[in-house]
């Protein structure tokens, strides 16, 4: 832990500074689509990222960096890789819905070791390093004691390509809503993972994710006593876009439940309706551009 403390300090400084930037933009910047419907970016994303990059480059100039908006900098073989989402939950932010965050994680030799997530609208700073436990606002946090899936509260999300593919998480959402006390959709993967770590939620699964969505949160969950894996319970592949994170007690049960759900294929009534809706939206967009 002592060897990681300086990195945690830098990540904390950067997250707090970025959070101040985000709050200064809240309610006064417009969002633009990055190419796919619902995938938004704002000036706040860019300004937050610039602040984080400034601090990291000043403090740790030899480290490699991967960010959502600008890509990767530095030697790809560098053992130290910072993975950053300057604004996780841009759609929420654009609508002034108070579920968005700054997520800063450090991978060392490909393994998440440091994680800082700032929830600026709720004034919550989550911090964790391997072997050092997890904290929220300097107080230790731990995953929930819920031991059965039927008593659990889960959270998930939907990928930006959900309009284009039957592998869209709708079937899992419906199935697990019936098996549990509820399934929430927050809109910020980093906050979802922070809520697992702090015991507010019991389990989380999602697909279509990027490394910057989850690296910091993985450290938090593990250090808070939880378990992070692939859907089938094997080791999590950060590049796969899929993650299963729980308090550990319901991990096997949730993994098994996910394996029992068949994706909604084209030809099902729901998917046909969604496909029709998507075509209508595209047609309306074309008419607006004429």
State whether 133 and 161 are in the same domain.
no
Q: What is the mean pLDDT of residues 153-157?
A: 97
Q: Which percentage of the chain shows pLDDT scores above 90? A: 76
- Residue whose C-alpha is closest to residue 157's, from 260, 248, 243: 243
Q: Tens of pLDDT along 183-237? A: 999 999 999 999 999 999 999 999 999 999 999 999 999 999 999 999 999 999 9
State whether 26 and 136 are in the same domain.
yes
Please tell me the distance from the alpha carbon of residue 153 to that of residue 130, in angstroms, as a whole number.
27
Identify whether the C-beta of residue 25 lies closer than 8 Å to the C-beta of residue 90: no
Residue 273 lies in a domain: no
The total number of structural domains in the chain stands at 2
State whether 227 and 209 are in the same domain.
yes
Whether residue 6 is predicted with pLDDT greater than 80 in this model: the reply is yes
Give the count of beta carbons closer than 10 Å to the beta carbon of residue 240: 11
State whether 101 and 205 are in the same domain.
no
What does the radius of gyration of the chain's CA atoms come to, in whole angstroms? 19
Residue 223 lies in a domain: yes
Query: How would you class 241 by CB atoms within 10 Å of its CB: exposed for 0-12, middle for 13-18, buried for 19 or more?
Result: middle
Buried b (16+ CB within 10 A) or exposed e, 142-160: ebbebeebeebbbbbbbbb
Residue where one domain finishes, among candidates 74, 108, 140? 140
Contacts of 270 (CB under 8 A, 6+ apart): 170, 264
- Residue whose C-alpha is closest to residue 229's, from 217, 219, 239, 242: 242
Identify whether the C-beta of residue 84 lies closer than 8 Å to the C-beta of residue 74: no
Residue where one domain finishes, among candidates 78, 108, 140? 140
**Range(s) of the domain holding residue 236:** 149-259
State whether 134 and 9 are in the same domain.
yes
Q: Tens of pLDDT along 51-106? A: 999 999 999 999 999 998 888 988 889 999 999 999 999 999 999 999 999 999 99
Q: Tens of pLDDT along 10-63? A: 999 999 999 999 999 999 887 777 656 656 778 999 999 999 999 999 999 999
Residue 266 lies in a domain: no
Residue 179 lies in a domain: yes
What is the CA angle 80-143-248, rounded to 5?
A: 85
* Domain CATH number, residue 153: 3.40.190.80
Q: Helices in 129-268 by DSSP H: which ranges?
A: 170-179, 189-197, 211-223, 251-259
* Domain CATH number, residue 130: 3.30.540.10
State whether 83 and 197 are in the same domain.
no
List the structure tokens of 31.
């969002």
Buried b (16+ CB within 10 A) or exposed e, 70-99: eeebbeeeeebbbbbbbbbbbbbbbeeeeb
State whether 71 and 184 are in the same domain.
no
The confidence score (pLDDT) of residue 2 equals: 65
- pTM, two decimals, is 0.89
166 vs 276, more confident? 166
Residue 289 lies in a domain: no
Please tell me the distance from the alpha carbon of residue 157 to that of residue 183, in angstroms, as a whole number.
10
- Residue whose C-alpha is closest to residue 100's, from 164, 31, 181: 31
Length of the chain as a residue count: 290
Three-state DSSP at 124 gives strand
């Amino acid at each position: 832990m002592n060897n990681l403390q300086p990195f945690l300090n830098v990540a904390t400084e950067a997250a707090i500074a970025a959070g101040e930037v985000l709050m200064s933009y809240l309610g006064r910047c417009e969002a633009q689509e990055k190419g796919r419907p619902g995938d938004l970016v704002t000036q706040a994303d860019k300004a937050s990222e610039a602040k984080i990059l400034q601090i990291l480059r000043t403090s740790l100039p030899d480290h490699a960096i991967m960010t959502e908006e600008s890509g990767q900098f530095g030697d790809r073989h560098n053992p130290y890789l910072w993975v950053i989402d300057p604004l996780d939950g841009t759609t929420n932010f654009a609508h002034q819905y108070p579920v968005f965050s700054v997520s800063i994680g450090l991978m060392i030799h490909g393994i998440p070791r440091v994680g800082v997530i700032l929830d600026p609208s709720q004034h919550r700073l989550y911090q964790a390093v391997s072997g050092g436990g997890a904290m929220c606002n300097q107080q230790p946090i731990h995953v929930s004691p819920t031991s059965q899936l039927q008593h659990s509260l889960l959270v998930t999300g939907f990928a930006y390509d959900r309009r284009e593919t039957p592998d869209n998480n709708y079937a899992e959402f419906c199935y697990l809503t019936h098996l549990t006390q509820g399934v929430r959709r927050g809109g910020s993967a980093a906050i979802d993972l922070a809520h697992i770590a702090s015991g507010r939620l019991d389990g989380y699964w999602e697909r279509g994710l990027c490394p910057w969505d989850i690296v910091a949160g993985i450290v938090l969950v593990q250090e808070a006593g939880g378990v992070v894996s692939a859907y089938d319970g094997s080791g999590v592949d950060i590049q796969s876009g899929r993650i299963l994170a729980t308090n550990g007690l319901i991990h096997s049960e949730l993994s098994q439940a996910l394996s029992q759900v068949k994706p909604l294929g084209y030809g099902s009534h729901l998917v046909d309706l969604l496909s029709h809706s998507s075509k209508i939206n595209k047609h309306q967009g074309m008419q607006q551009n004429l």
